[in-house]
Homo-oligomer: A and B are copies of this chain.
Amino acid sequence: MAVRGSASKETVKPKPLDRDRIVSAALRLVRREGIARLTMRRLARELDAGAMSLYRHIADRDDLLLAMLDHVAQSIQVPAPQADETAEIMAVMKAFHDTFRTDPWLVGVLLNEGQASLHILPLVERIFSALYRLGLEGEQVIEVYLLLIHYSYGESLSFETAGKRKHLLETFGVAAADRYPASAAAMSAARGWQYREFQPNIARILKAITPRQTV
């Protein structure tokens, strides 16, 4: 048994706390058990520290969440630039999507903490730039940007909570098929469906803003 402060050279001897060690441990915890289980006390226990020692290195829980956000944002795999504008936007959105799949709690942090990491600026720039090159103007650019972003927020949150969600089919019940035939048809088409709506739906959005061929 490891005794705190024992003379034996244990590898578990308490390393000093620092911001990086706290953020890393928090990320590990959140990925293993979900954001709801990330409490200051639990995190401290994970670090073999007193619950209050964390406050030497982080201001409060929000500060921790923002530090975690920043850490993840820095690690985003930046996709290669694409000549074609829609391919460029698809690539950047896929990078965001992949990030939200690994860390779905990020969306909640982005919404609740009210600020993003500065590390995503280059990626955001690539989207705006492509939208301008596609010929969008004025408020259209913001609107379409928000369509892309808000859709990916909703999709990610939905995926995050998909586990505890009853399939619509169950909620409906079998009897409802008579009264709601289109819903029933859609539900049965969705059976065994691979939940890969994201890419086709981004493509749909981009199709809507691409000027139609007028020959």
The interface residues of chain A, by DSSP majority, are classed as helix
Q: B-facing mask of A187-215, CB < 8 A → 1, else 0?
A: 00110010001001100110111001000
Q: B-facing mask of A126-168, CB < 8 A → 1, else 0?
A: 0011011000001101111111011111110110110011101
Asked if A185 lies at the interface with its beta carbon under 8 angstroms from chain B, I say: yes
Nearest CB in chain B: distance from A81 CB, A: 14
Asked if A78 lies at the interface with its beta carbon under 8 angstroms from chain B, I say: no
A–B complex contacts, Cβ < 8 Å, 11 sampled: A111-B158, A121-B179, A128-B182, A141-B189, A142-B186, A145-B186, A146-B155, A150-B151, A150-B158, A153-B158, A207-B208
What would 17 more interface pairs be, CB under 8 Å, given A111-B165, A125-B181, A207-B208?
A111-B160, A121-B179, A121-B183, A122-B180, A124-B168, A128-B180, A132-B185, A139-B189, A139-B190, A143-B200, A144-B201, A146-B201, A147-B204, A147-B205, A151-B154, A154-B157, A212-B212
